Amino acid sequence: MVRSSIALLLLAAVALSAGCSMVAPKYSPSLENVQKIKDANISPTKVGTFDFTAAAGNTNPISLRGSSLNSPYDGSYAKYIAEAVKQELVLAGKFAADAQLEVSGALQKNDINIPALGSGTGDLQARFVVKRGGEVRFDQVKMIHDEWDSSFVGAVAIPRAQERYPVMVQKLIGQLLADPAFLQSLK
């Protein structure tokens, strides 16, 4: 009796989670990234526009087993990346809306996969551009691949993937901050 009740509850949870629309968690700055910015002694910087490049593997919203994962920033994952960069700069005390230096870019890959068997995976790729007074000082593509424990049960796997998105963005910004050429372009 107990087993069949549990099985029915699990089936109901899976059925209810299918076809739902969810919102990714808002971005939370990484203390490691903030410290890298502080240590680099960069100049005040503003954040420009981040575009969304339509391509295979660059989805908006992200599909998670039939559910849709939307960005909390006007439904745009490009704006998610821009907001993440801005929050890191703000927390490091290096953001200025009127700065001569500007970081902008384009989101090129935005994908999460949670198969029924195996690990969940996510891929992000973005082009980052730094300009000072209209002159390009840095223009490179950064990418990350992330993996985490998933589950056969959608009611477990989908929320795990949803919660993983900000971590993926932290890792992407971490890749950017690990590039000495990027940090030099902000001085």
3-state SS, one letter per residue, for 86-119: HHHHHHCCCECCCCCEEEEEEEEEEEEECCCCCC
Mean per-residue pLDDT of the chain: 89
**Helix/strand/coil for 51:** strand
**Taking 50 as the threshold, does the pLDDT of residue 12 lie above it?**
no
Mean pLDDT across 148-162: 86
User: Is-contact 17 59, C-beta < 8 A?
Assistant: no
Q: Predicted confidence band at 57 (pLDDT cuts at 50, 70, 90)?
A: confident
Q: Which of 75, 182, 73, 45 is closest to 126 using CA atoms?
A: 182
CA atoms of 160 and 26, how far apart (whole Å): 15
Q: Which of 96, 121, 119, 99 is closest to 111 using CA atoms?
A: 121
User: Is-contact 88 33, C-beta < 8 A?
Assistant: yes
The pTM (predicted TM-score) of the whole model is: 0.86
Q: Predicted confidence band at 74 (pLDDT cuts at 50, 70, 90)?
A: very high
Q: What is the largest CA-CA distance in the chain?
A: 71
Mean pLDDT across 31-55: 95
Fold of 2-185: Rossmann fold (3.40.50)
**Taking 80 as the threshold, does the pLDDT of residue 17 lie above it?**
no
